[in-house]
Structure 1
Protein backbone atom coordinates (compact mmCIF):
# COMPACT_ATOMS: atom_id res chain seq x y z
CA UNK A 1 0.00 0.00 0.00
CA UNK A 2 2.85 2.39 0.80
CA UNK A 3 4.66 2.13 -2.57
CA UNK A 4 1.49 2.85 -4.61
CA UNK A 5 0.82 5.80 -2.30
CA UNK A 6 4.31 7.18 -3.01
CA UNK A 7 3.74 6.75 -6.75
CA UNK A 8 0.42 8.58 -6.46
CA UNK A 9 2.08 11.49 -4.64
CA UNK A 10 4.83 11.73 -7.24
CA UNK A 11 2.20 11.70 -9.96
CA UNK A 12 0.33 14.54 -8.25
CA UNK A 13 3.49 16.65 -8.19
CA UNK A 14 4.49 15.99 -11.79
CA UNK A 15 1.02 16.74 -13.18
CA UNK A 16 1.13 20.33 -11.87
CA UNK A 17 3.24 23.27 -12.98
CA UNK A 18 4.22 24.30 -9.47
CA UNK A 19 7.28 22.08 -9.11
CA UNK A 20 9.01 23.06 -12.33
CA UNK A 21 8.13 26.77 -12.02
CA UNK A 22 9.74 26.83 -8.57
CA UNK A 23 12.68 24.84 -9.97
CA UNK A 24 13.27 27.39 -12.73
CA UNK A 25 13.10 30.29 -10.28
CA UNK A 26 15.52 28.45 -7.97
CA UNK A 27 18.08 27.95 -10.75
CA UNK A 28 17.86 31.56 -11.98
CA UNK A 29 18.05 32.91 -8.42
CA UNK A 30 21.11 30.83 -7.49
CA UNK A 31 22.87 31.62 -10.78
CA UNK A 32 22.44 35.33 -10.11
CA UNK A 33 23.63 35.06 -6.51
CA UNK A 34 26.54 32.66 -7.01
CA UNK A 35 27.68 34.20 -10.27
CA UNK A 36 27.15 37.76 -9.05
CA UNK A 37 29.02 37.25 -5.77
CA UNK A 38 31.75 35.34 -7.58
CA UNK A 39 32.25 38.17 -10.05
CA UNK A 40 32.12 40.80 -7.30
CA UNK A 41 34.62 39.09 -5.02
CA UNK A 42 36.75 38.06 -7.98
CA UNK A 43 36.98 41.67 -9.10
CA UNK A 44 37.96 42.96 -5.67
CA UNK A 45 40.40 40.08 -5.19
CA UNK A 46 42.27 40.82 -8.38
CA UNK A 47 42.09 44.58 -7.83
CA UNK A 48 43.43 44.14 -4.30
CA UNK A 49 46.31 42.06 -5.58
CA UNK A 50 47.23 44.69 -8.17
CA UNK A 51 47.24 47.35 -5.46
CA UNK A 52 49.66 45.33 -3.35
CA UNK A 53 47.03 44.34 -0.80
CA UNK A 54 46.53 40.84 0.51
CA UNK A 55 43.79 39.09 -1.44
CA UNK A 56 40.96 37.27 0.37
CA UNK A 57 41.58 33.52 0.71
CA UNK A 58 40.06 31.65 -2.23
CA UNK A 59 39.63 28.53 -0.08
CA UNK A 60 36.88 30.51 1.65
CA UNK A 61 35.38 32.02 -1.49
CA UNK A 62 34.69 28.93 -3.60
CA UNK A 63 32.83 26.96 -0.87
CA UNK A 64 30.79 30.05 0.00
CA UNK A 65 29.62 30.37 -3.60
CA UNK A 66 28.83 26.68 -3.95
CA UNK A 67 27.02 26.63 -0.61
CA UNK A 68 24.75 29.50 -1.66
CA UNK A 69 22.28 26.86 -2.82
CA UNK A 70 21.53 26.18 0.84
CA UNK A 71 22.04 29.66 2.28
CA UNK A 72 19.71 31.38 -0.19
CA UNK A 73 17.82 28.65 -2.04
CA UNK A 74 16.25 26.62 0.74
CA UNK A 75 13.00 28.58 0.60
CA UNK A 76 12.00 26.87 -2.68
CA UNK A 77 11.87 23.25 -1.47
CA UNK A 78 10.13 24.46 1.69
CA UNK A 79 7.46 26.12 -0.45
CA UNK A 80 7.12 23.02 -2.62
CA UNK A 81 6.66 20.79 0.41
CA UNK A 82 4.08 23.09 1.98
CA UNK A 83 2.16 23.55 -1.28
CA UNK A 84 2.01 19.78 -1.77
CA UNK A 85 -0.09 19.64 1.41
CA UNK A 86 -2.01 22.90 1.39
CA UNK A 87 -3.06 22.57 -2.25
CA UNK A 88 -4.98 19.42 -1.40
CA UNK A 89 -6.76 21.24 1.41
CA UNK A 90 -7.49 24.22 -0.82
CA UNK A 91 -8.83 22.20 -3.75
CA UNK A 92 -10.51 19.61 -1.49
CA UNK A 93 -8.51 16.72 -2.90
CA UNK A 94 -7.82 15.10 0.47
CA UNK A 95 -11.20 13.37 0.57
CA UNK A 96 -10.58 11.14 -2.48
CA UNK A 97 -6.97 10.67 -1.31
CA UNK A 98 -8.11 9.37 2.07
CA UNK A 99 -10.79 7.23 0.43
CA UNK A 100 -8.15 5.59 -1.74
CA UNK A 101 -5.73 5.23 1.20
CA UNK A 102 -7.73 5.26 4.47
CA UNK A 103 -4.63 5.12 6.69
CA UNK A 104 -3.69 8.77 6.91
CA UNK A 105 -0.27 8.06 8.35
CA UNK A 106 0.61 6.21 5.16
CA UNK A 107 -0.53 9.18 3.07
CA UNK A 108 1.61 11.62 5.07
CA UNK A 109 4.57 9.24 4.95
CA UNK A 110 4.18 8.88 1.19
CA UNK A 111 4.16 12.65 0.81
CA UNK A 112 7.34 12.84 2.86
CA UNK A 113 9.09 10.31 0.62
CA UNK A 114 7.88 12.00 -2.56
CA UNK A 115 8.99 15.43 -1.36
CA UNK A 116 12.32 14.03 -0.19
CA UNK A 117 12.89 12.91 -3.78
CA UNK A 118 11.83 16.24 -5.25
CA UNK A 119 13.87 18.11 -2.66
CA UNK A 120 16.91 16.13 -3.78
CA UNK A 121 16.10 17.04 -7.40
CA UNK A 122 15.98 20.69 -6.36
CA UNK A 123 19.30 20.15 -4.62
CA UNK A 124 20.89 18.75 -7.77
CA UNK A 125 19.55 21.62 -9.87
CA UNK A 126 20.63 24.13 -7.25
CA UNK A 127 24.21 22.88 -6.94
CA UNK A 128 24.55 22.73 -10.72
CA UNK A 129 23.52 26.39 -10.78
CA UNK A 130 25.73 27.47 -7.87
CA UNK A 131 28.80 25.52 -8.97
CA UNK A 132 28.39 26.37 -12.64
CA UNK A 133 27.93 30.10 -12.08
CA UNK A 134 30.36 30.35 -9.17
CA UNK A 135 33.15 28.36 -10.78
CA UNK A 136 32.64 30.24 -14.04
CA UNK A 137 33.02 33.58 -12.26
CA UNK A 138 36.12 32.43 -10.40
CA UNK A 139 37.69 31.10 -13.59
CA UNK A 140 36.98 34.39 -15.31
CA UNK A 141 39.24 36.12 -12.79
CA UNK A 142 41.83 33.35 -12.72
CA UNK A 143 40.93 32.16 -9.21
CA UNK A 144 41.01 28.59 -7.93
CA UNK A 145 37.63 26.87 -8.29
CA UNK A 146 38.67 24.02 -5.96
CA UNK A 147 36.75 21.53 -8.08
CA UNK A 148 39.74 19.20 -7.87
CA UNK A 149 39.29 18.98 -4.10
CA UNK A 150 37.36 16.03 -2.64
CA UNK A 151 36.09 18.22 0.20
CA UNK A 152 34.39 20.44 -2.36
CA UNK A 153 32.47 17.51 -3.80
CA UNK A 154 31.49 16.36 -0.32
CA UNK A 155 30.15 19.87 0.26
CA UNK A 156 28.19 19.67 -3.00
CA UNK A 157 26.66 16.33 -1.98
CA UNK A 158 25.61 17.71 1.40
CA UNK A 159 24.01 20.65 -0.40
CA UNK A 160 21.70 18.20 -2.16
CA UNK A 161 20.87 16.56 1.16
CA UNK A 162 20.13 19.94 2.77
CA UNK A 163 17.51 20.88 0.18
CA UNK A 164 15.93 17.43 0.45
CA UNK A 165 15.54 17.93 4.21
CA UNK A 166 14.10 21.41 3.66
CA UNK A 167 11.39 19.87 1.46
CA UNK A 168 10.49 17.59 4.38
CA UNK A 169 10.28 20.62 6.65
CA UNK A 170 7.87 22.14 4.14
CA UNK A 171 5.67 19.04 4.35
CA UNK A 172 5.56 19.37 8.13
CA UNK A 173 4.70 23.05 7.92
CA UNK A 174 1.95 22.37 5.37
CA UNK A 175 0.44 19.71 7.61
CA UNK A 176 0.64 22.01 10.62
CA UNK A 177 -0.72 25.08 8.79
CA UNK A 178 -3.21 23.73 6.23
CA UNK A 179 -4.34 27.18 5.10
CA UNK A 180 -2.30 27.83 1.96
CA UNK A 181 -2.10 31.61 2.22
CA UNK A 182 -1.14 31.46 5.89
CA UNK A 183 1.52 28.81 5.23
CA UNK A 184 3.10 30.83 2.40
CA UNK A 185 3.10 34.01 4.49
CA UNK A 186 4.73 32.24 7.44
CA UNK A 187 7.40 30.61 5.25
CA UNK A 188 8.30 33.79 3.39
CA UNK A 189 8.24 35.94 6.52
CA UNK A 190 10.49 33.56 8.45
CA UNK A 191 12.95 32.69 5.70
CA UNK A 192 13.25 36.16 4.15
CA UNK A 193 12.99 38.41 7.21
CA UNK A 194 12.84 36.79 10.65
CA UNK A 195 15.75 34.37 10.42
CA UNK A 196 18.11 36.65 8.43
CA UNK A 197 17.45 39.37 11.00
CA UNK A 198 18.08 37.02 13.92
CA UNK A 199 21.25 35.65 12.32
CA UNK A 200 22.56 39.17 11.83
CA UNK A 201 21.65 40.26 15.37
CA UNK A 202 23.25 37.28 17.13
CA UNK A 203 26.65 38.16 15.67
CA UNK A 204 26.94 41.08 18.10
CA UNK A 205 26.94 39.01 21.32
CA UNK A 206 28.81 35.84 22.21
CA UNK A 207 25.92 34.31 24.16
CA UNK A 208 23.50 35.04 21.34
CA UNK A 209 25.88 33.58 18.76
CA UNK A 210 25.90 30.32 20.72
CA UNK A 211 22.12 30.17 20.43
CA UNK A 212 22.14 31.34 16.82
CA UNK A 213 23.92 28.17 15.76
CA UNK A 214 20.66 26.31 16.29
CA UNK A 215 18.55 28.41 13.93
CA UNK A 216 17.37 26.31 10.97
CA UNK A 217 19.33 28.32 8.40
CA UNK A 218 22.51 28.11 10.48
CA UNK A 219 22.00 24.36 10.84
CA UNK A 220 21.60 24.11 7.07
CA UNK A 221 24.86 25.98 6.50
CA UNK A 222 26.55 23.72 9.04
CA UNK A 223 25.26 20.61 7.27
CA UNK A 224 26.62 21.81 3.94
CA UNK A 225 29.87 22.84 5.60
CA UNK A 226 30.24 26.02 3.55
CA UNK A 227 30.99 29.45 5.00
CA UNK A 228 28.30 32.04 4.41
CA UNK A 229 27.94 35.77 4.89
CA UNK A 230 26.33 34.95 8.25
CA UNK A 231 28.62 32.20 9.50
CA UNK A 232 31.69 34.24 8.61
CA UNK A 233 30.91 36.60 11.43
CA UNK A 234 30.00 33.84 13.85
CA UNK A 235 33.66 33.10 14.47
CA UNK A 236 33.77 35.86 17.07
CA UNK A 237 31.04 34.28 19.13
CA UNK A 238 30.74 30.55 18.62
CA UNK A 239 31.84 27.79 16.34
CA UNK A 240 29.17 26.45 13.96
CA UNK A 241 27.70 23.00 14.44
CA UNK A 242 29.37 19.98 12.89
CA UNK A 243 27.86 18.94 9.56
CA UNK A 244 26.19 15.88 11.05
CA UNK A 245 24.77 17.95 13.90
CA UNK A 246 23.26 20.37 11.40
CA UNK A 247 21.74 17.45 9.49
CA UNK A 248 20.27 15.94 12.65
CA UNK A 249 18.81 19.29 13.64
CA UNK A 250 17.12 19.77 10.27
CA UNK A 251 15.87 16.17 10.22
CA UNK A 252 14.60 16.50 13.80
CA UNK A 253 12.79 19.73 12.92
CA UNK A 254 11.12 18.04 9.96
CA UNK A 255 10.05 15.12 12.15
CA UNK A 256 8.65 17.35 14.92
CA UNK A 257 6.67 19.46 12.44
CA UNK A 258 5.29 16.38 10.69
CA UNK A 259 4.21 14.78 13.98
CA UNK A 260 2.62 18.01 15.20
CA UNK A 261 0.89 18.48 11.85
CA UNK A 262 -0.42 14.92 11.94
CA UNK A 263 -2.03 15.30 15.36
CA UNK A 264 -3.13 18.94 15.05
CA UNK A 265 -4.77 18.97 11.62
CA UNK A 266 -4.06 15.83 9.57
CA UNK A 267 -6.36 13.61 11.66
CA UNK A 268 -9.27 16.03 11.56
CA UNK A 269 -12.31 15.42 9.41
CA UNK A 270 -12.11 16.86 5.92
CA UNK A 271 -14.99 17.74 3.62
Structure 2
Protein backbone atom coordinates (compact mmCIF):
# COMPACT_ATOMS: atom_id res chain seq x y z
CA UNK A 1 0.00 0.00 0.00
CA UNK A 2 1.45 3.40 -0.94
CA UNK A 3 2.15 5.87 1.81
CA UNK A 4 0.02 9.00 1.81
CA UNK A 5 1.74 12.36 1.60
CA UNK A 6 1.30 14.69 4.57
CA UNK A 7 -1.41 17.32 4.45
CA UNK A 8 -0.43 20.38 2.50
CA UNK A 9 1.06 18.35 -0.32
CA UNK A 10 4.67 18.42 1.02
CA UNK A 11 6.66 15.34 1.93
CA UNK A 12 8.93 15.08 4.98
CA UNK A 13 11.96 15.14 2.68
CA UNK A 14 10.71 18.28 0.98
CA UNK A 15 10.03 19.97 4.32
CA UNK A 16 13.53 19.17 5.56
CA UNK A 17 15.06 20.48 2.34
CA UNK A 18 13.10 23.72 2.69
CA UNK A 19 14.28 24.21 6.29
CA UNK A 20 17.92 23.61 5.28
CA UNK A 21 17.51 26.01 2.37
CA UNK A 22 16.15 28.70 4.68
CA UNK A 23 19.09 28.24 7.06
CA UNK A 24 21.52 28.64 4.19
CA UNK A 25 19.75 31.79 3.08
CA UNK A 26 20.21 33.19 6.61
CA UNK A 27 23.92 32.32 6.77
CA UNK A 28 26.37 35.26 6.90
CA UNK A 29 27.66 34.49 3.40
CA UNK A 30 24.17 35.05 1.96
CA UNK A 31 23.22 38.19 3.87
CA UNK A 32 23.23 41.06 1.40
CA UNK A 33 23.93 44.08 3.63
CA UNK A 34 26.11 46.62 1.89
CA UNK A 35 29.11 48.19 3.58
CA UNK A 36 27.63 51.66 3.05
CA UNK A 37 24.55 50.69 5.04
CA UNK A 38 26.79 49.33 7.77
CA UNK A 39 28.65 52.65 7.82
CA UNK A 40 25.41 54.59 8.10
CA UNK A 41 24.18 52.34 10.92
CA UNK A 42 27.41 52.57 12.90
CA UNK A 43 27.68 56.33 12.43
CA UNK A 44 24.13 56.81 13.72
CA UNK A 45 24.89 54.54 16.64
CA UNK A 46 28.17 56.33 17.45
CA UNK A 47 26.73 59.84 17.25
CA UNK A 48 23.63 58.95 19.27
CA UNK A 49 25.66 58.20 22.40
CA UNK A 50 26.09 61.01 24.93
CA UNK A 51 29.50 59.61 25.93
CA UNK A 52 30.75 60.11 22.37
CA UNK A 53 29.97 63.83 22.38
CA UNK A 54 31.34 64.30 25.90
CA UNK A 55 34.69 62.70 25.04
CA UNK A 56 34.79 64.45 21.66
CA UNK A 57 34.30 67.80 23.40
CA UNK A 58 37.00 66.99 25.96
CA UNK A 59 39.44 65.98 23.23
CA UNK A 60 38.60 69.17 21.32
CA UNK A 61 39.20 71.41 24.35
CA UNK A 62 42.41 69.68 25.43
CA UNK A 63 44.20 70.51 22.19
CA UNK A 64 44.09 74.33 22.42
CA UNK A 65 44.57 74.02 26.19
CA UNK A 66 47.82 72.09 25.72
CA UNK A 67 48.93 74.51 23.02
CA UNK A 68 48.22 77.53 25.23
CA UNK A 69 50.21 75.99 28.08
CA UNK A 70 53.20 75.32 25.82
CA UNK A 71 52.97 78.78 24.22
CA UNK A 72 52.89 80.58 27.57
CA UNK A 73 55.88 78.52 28.69
CA UNK A 74 57.85 79.44 25.58
CA UNK A 75 56.94 83.09 25.93
CA UNK A 76 58.01 83.15 29.57
CA UNK A 77 61.31 81.38 28.83
CA UNK A 78 62.04 83.91 26.10
CA UNK A 79 62.05 86.68 28.73
CA UNK A 80 64.52 84.93 31.04
CA UNK A 81 68.30 84.75 30.65
CA UNK A 82 69.04 81.02 30.68
CA UNK A 83 72.54 81.48 32.15
CA UNK A 84 71.76 83.88 35.00
CA UNK A 85 68.02 83.40 35.45
CA UNK A 86 67.43 87.17 35.35
CA UNK A 87 64.74 88.85 33.22
CA UNK A 88 65.79 90.14 29.81
CA UNK A 89 65.07 93.66 28.66
CA UNK A 90 64.09 92.38 25.22
CA UNK A 91 62.50 88.94 24.76
CA UNK A 92 64.72 86.47 22.94
CA UNK A 93 63.53 85.18 19.56
CA UNK A 94 61.67 81.87 19.50
CA UNK A 95 62.56 79.12 17.04
CA UNK A 96 59.77 78.39 14.59
CA UNK A 97 60.28 74.68 15.23
CA UNK A 98 59.24 75.22 18.86
CA UNK A 99 56.36 77.38 17.67
CA UNK A 100 54.91 74.57 15.55
CA UNK A 101 55.56 71.88 18.13
CA UNK A 102 53.64 74.01 20.64
CA UNK A 103 50.70 74.13 18.22
CA UNK A 104 50.53 70.32 18.20
CA UNK A 105 51.39 69.70 21.83
CA UNK A 106 47.73 69.26 22.82
CA UNK A 107 47.45 66.13 20.67
CA UNK A 108 49.24 64.08 23.34
CA UNK A 109 46.57 65.00 25.90
CA UNK A 110 43.76 64.32 23.46
CA UNK A 111 45.19 60.90 22.54
CA UNK A 112 44.29 59.47 25.95
CA UNK A 113 40.65 60.57 25.57
CA UNK A 114 40.53 59.32 21.98
CA UNK A 115 41.92 55.97 23.09
CA UNK A 116 39.19 55.56 25.71
CA UNK A 117 36.55 56.53 23.15
CA UNK A 118 37.92 53.91 20.75
CA UNK A 119 37.63 51.19 23.38
CA UNK A 120 34.10 52.23 24.36
CA UNK A 121 33.02 52.20 20.71
CA UNK A 122 32.98 48.38 20.79
CA UNK A 123 33.27 47.32 24.44
CA UNK A 124 30.11 49.19 25.46
CA UNK A 125 28.10 46.94 23.15
CA UNK A 126 29.56 43.82 24.71
CA UNK A 127 28.87 45.12 28.22
CA UNK A 128 25.23 46.00 27.46
CA UNK A 129 24.64 42.92 25.25
CA UNK A 130 23.51 45.22 22.42
CA UNK A 131 26.12 43.51 20.27
CA UNK A 132 23.53 40.72 19.81
CA UNK A 133 21.21 43.10 17.96
CA UNK A 134 24.13 44.46 15.91
CA UNK A 135 25.25 41.01 14.78
CA UNK A 136 21.65 39.93 14.14
CA UNK A 137 21.20 42.77 11.66
CA UNK A 138 24.65 42.16 10.18
CA UNK A 139 26.19 38.73 10.97
CA UNK A 140 29.42 39.62 9.16
CA UNK A 141 31.54 40.48 12.16
CA UNK A 142 34.51 41.68 10.15
CA UNK A 143 32.29 44.11 8.27
CA UNK A 144 30.81 45.40 11.53
CA UNK A 145 34.25 46.08 13.00
CA UNK A 146 35.48 47.69 9.77
CA UNK A 147 32.45 50.01 9.70
CA UNK A 148 33.08 51.00 13.31
CA UNK A 149 36.74 51.67 12.49
CA UNK A 150 35.90 53.96 9.57
CA UNK A 151 33.27 55.92 11.53
CA UNK A 152 35.56 56.29 14.54
CA UNK A 153 38.52 57.36 12.40
CA UNK A 154 36.46 60.00 10.56
CA UNK A 155 34.98 61.43 13.76
CA UNK A 156 38.40 61.51 15.44
CA UNK A 157 40.05 63.12 12.43
CA UNK A 158 37.42 65.87 12.13
CA UNK A 159 37.57 66.63 15.85
CA UNK A 160 41.37 66.64 15.92
CA UNK A 161 41.63 68.80 12.81
CA UNK A 162 39.36 71.44 14.33
CA UNK A 163 41.28 71.24 17.61
CA UNK A 164 44.66 71.65 15.90
CA UNK A 165 43.46 74.72 14.00
CA UNK A 166 42.18 76.26 17.24
CA UNK A 167 45.50 75.42 18.89
CA UNK A 168 47.42 77.01 16.02
CA UNK A 169 45.33 80.19 16.29
CA UNK A 170 45.96 80.33 20.06
CA UNK A 171 49.72 79.96 19.64
CA UNK A 172 49.69 82.52 16.85
CA UNK A 173 48.15 85.10 19.21
CA UNK A 174 50.38 84.41 22.21
CA UNK A 175 53.69 84.15 20.35
CA UNK A 176 53.10 86.97 17.91
CA UNK A 177 55.22 89.57 19.74
CA UNK A 178 58.73 88.00 20.08
CA UNK A 179 61.02 87.54 17.10
CA UNK A 180 61.19 84.17 15.38
CA UNK A 181 64.08 82.03 14.16
CA UNK A 182 63.25 80.55 10.73
CA UNK A 183 63.01 76.82 10.20
CA UNK A 184 66.06 74.90 9.03
CA UNK A 185 65.99 72.93 5.81
CA UNK A 186 65.66 69.67 7.78
CA UNK A 187 62.63 71.11 9.63
CA UNK A 188 60.60 72.18 6.61
CA UNK A 189 58.01 69.46 7.15
CA UNK A 190 57.15 70.46 10.74
CA UNK A 191 54.21 72.82 9.89
CA UNK A 192 52.47 70.25 7.67
CA UNK A 193 53.14 67.39 10.05
CA UNK A 194 51.57 69.26 12.98
CA UNK A 195 48.63 70.83 11.15
CA UNK A 196 47.66 67.93 8.90
CA UNK A 197 49.57 64.85 10.03
CA UNK A 198 48.73 65.13 13.73
CA UNK A 199 44.96 64.60 13.27
CA UNK A 200 45.61 61.64 10.97
CA UNK A 201 47.97 60.13 13.57
CA UNK A 202 45.23 60.47 16.20
CA UNK A 203 42.68 58.82 13.90
CA UNK A 204 45.03 55.85 13.46
CA UNK A 205 45.52 55.75 17.23
CA UNK A 206 41.74 55.59 17.73
CA UNK A 207 41.49 52.58 15.39
CA UNK A 208 44.23 50.86 17.41
CA UNK A 209 42.18 51.44 20.57
CA UNK A 210 39.13 50.01 18.81
CA UNK A 211 41.12 46.86 18.05
CA UNK A 212 42.15 46.63 21.70
CA UNK A 213 38.51 46.98 22.76
CA UNK A 214 37.44 44.21 20.37
CA UNK A 215 40.27 42.01 21.62
CA UNK A 216 39.46 42.51 25.32
CA UNK A 217 35.64 42.78 24.91
CA UNK A 218 35.66 44.54 28.29
CA UNK A 219 35.62 48.27 28.98
CA UNK A 220 37.86 48.00 32.03
CA UNK A 221 40.30 45.63 30.33
CA UNK A 222 40.44 47.68 27.14
CA UNK A 223 40.91 51.04 28.88
CA UNK A 224 43.61 49.63 31.18
CA UNK A 225 45.42 48.17 28.18
CA UNK A 226 45.39 51.53 26.38
CA UNK A 227 46.53 53.41 29.49
CA UNK A 228 49.20 50.82 30.13
CA UNK A 229 50.50 51.16 26.59
CA UNK A 230 50.61 54.96 26.49
CA UNK A 231 51.31 55.89 30.13
CA UNK A 232 52.44 53.00 32.33
CA UNK A 233 54.84 51.25 29.91
CA UNK A 234 57.01 54.37 29.25
CA UNK A 235 57.24 54.93 33.02
CA UNK A 236 58.32 51.34 33.67
CA UNK A 237 60.90 51.46 30.89
CA UNK A 238 62.30 54.68 32.36
CA UNK A 239 62.64 53.05 35.79
CA UNK A 240 64.33 49.97 34.32
CA UNK A 241 66.75 52.12 32.36
CA UNK A 242 67.66 54.14 35.46
CA UNK A 243 68.52 51.01 37.46
CA UNK A 244 71.66 50.11 35.53
CA UNK A 245 73.61 51.19 32.49
CA UNK A 246 73.19 47.66 31.13
CA UNK A 247 69.54 48.46 30.43
CA UNK A 248 70.23 51.37 28.08
CA UNK A 249 68.81 49.30 25.21
CA UNK A 250 65.38 49.62 26.86
CA UNK A 251 65.32 53.21 25.57
CA UNK A 252 64.88 51.89 22.04
CA UNK A 253 61.76 49.98 23.12
CA UNK A 254 60.41 53.05 24.88
CA UNK A 255 60.93 55.14 21.75
CA UNK A 256 58.51 53.00 19.72
CA UNK A 257 55.61 53.22 22.18
CA UNK A 258 52.57 55.10 20.78
CA UNK A 259 52.82 58.29 22.84
CA UNK A 260 56.56 58.65 22.20
CA UNK A 261 55.93 57.96 18.52
CA UNK A 262 53.52 60.91 18.50
CA UNK A 263 56.26 63.20 19.87
CA UNK A 264 58.77 62.03 17.26
CA UNK A 265 56.15 62.33 14.53
CA UNK A 266 55.28 65.91 15.44
CA UNK A 267 58.96 66.88 15.70
CA UNK A 268 59.21 66.56 11.92
CA UNK A 269 62.85 65.48 12.04
CA UNK A 270 64.20 64.20 8.72
CA UNK A 271 67.75 63.60 9.97
CA UNK A 272 69.07 61.87 13.13
CA UNK A 273 69.96 64.24 15.96
CA UNK A 274 73.51 64.15 17.36
CA UNK A 275 73.97 62.30 20.64
CA UNK A 276 70.93 60.07 20.26
CA UNK A 277 70.75 56.94 22.42
CA UNK A 278 69.35 53.82 20.81
CA UNK A 279 66.88 53.83 17.95
CA UNK A 280 65.10 57.16 17.55
CA UNK A 281 62.64 57.15 14.61
CA UNK A 282 62.37 59.99 12.16
CA UNK A 283 58.94 61.53 11.73
CA UNK A 284 57.91 59.28 8.82
CA UNK A 285 59.31 56.20 10.57
CA UNK A 286 57.25 57.06 13.65
CA UNK A 287 54.14 57.22 11.48
CA UNK A 288 54.82 53.84 9.90
CA UNK A 289 55.48 52.20 13.29
CA UNK A 290 52.18 53.59 14.57
CA UNK A 291 50.41 52.07 11.56
CA UNK A 292 52.09 48.75 12.42
CA UNK A 293 50.84 48.97 16.04
CA UNK A 294 47.32 49.63 14.75
CA UNK A 295 47.45 46.79 12.21
CA UNK A 296 48.51 44.26 14.88
CA UNK A 297 45.82 45.18 17.43
CA UNK A 298 43.12 45.55 14.77
CA UNK A 299 43.98 42.11 13.36
CA UNK A 300 43.84 40.58 16.85
CA UNK A 301 40.52 42.29 17.53
CA UNK A 302 39.09 41.02 14.24
CA UNK A 303 40.29 37.50 15.01
CA UNK A 304 38.63 37.53 18.44
CA UNK A 305 35.41 38.94 16.97
CA UNK A 306 35.23 36.17 14.37
CA UNK A 307 36.39 33.18 16.44
CA UNK A 308 34.93 33.70 19.92
CA UNK A 309 31.19 33.44 20.54
CA UNK A 310 29.25 36.24 22.19
CA UNK A 311 28.51 35.56 25.87
State the TM bucket, normalised to the shorter chain.
0.7 to 0.9
Q: Which moved more, 1:51-60 or 1:33-42?
A: 51-60
Query: Hey, what's the Cα distance between the residues in 2 that align with 1:73 and 1:97?
Result: 29
1:242 to 273, 282, 299: 282
Structure with the higher helix share, 1 or 2: 1
Alignment partner, residue 11 of structure 1: 44
Distance 1:25 1:215, change over 3 A: same
Conserved in 2, the CA contact under 8 Å of 1:83 and 1:174?
yes
1:208 to 244, 250, 264: 250
1:36 to 54, 69, 80: 69
SS in 2 for 1:47: coil
Distance 1:239 1:66, change over 3 A: farther
Alignment partner, residue 222 of structure 2: 183
Distance 1:110 1:133, change over 3 A: same
How much does 1:201 deviate? 6.8
Could you tell me the TM-score, scaled by structure 2's length?
Answer: 0.74
Unaligned runs of 5+ in 1: 228-232
Tell me which structure has the larger Cα radius of gyration.
Answer: 2
Q: Which moved more, 1:32-41 or 1:88-97?
A: 32-41
1:59 to 89, 96, 103: 96
How much does 1:266 deviate? 4.7
Distance 1:183 1:127, change over 3 A: same
Asked if 1:92 corresponds to 2:125, the answer is: no
2:292 to 228, 252, 259: 252
Could you tell me the TM-score, scaled by structure 1's length?
Answer: 0.83
RMSD between superposed Cα atoms in Å: 3.1
Q: How big is each residue's C-alpha offset from its partner over 1:2-30, in whole Å with a ceiling of 9 and x where there is no partner? A: 11111111111111112221122123323
Distance 1:211 1:187, change over 3 A: closer
2:54 to 10, 21, 26: 21
Deviating above 4 A after TM superposition, structure 1's stretches of 4 or more consecutive aligned residues are 52-57, 199-206
How much does 1:245 deviate? 1.8
Q: Which moved more, 1:247-256 or 1:214-223?
A: 214-223
- Aligned pairs (5 A) from 1:70-85: 70-85=107-122
Q: How big is each residue's C-alpha offset from its partner over 1:162-197, in whole Å with a ceiling of 9 and x where there is no partner? A: 111011111111011111122223323443333355
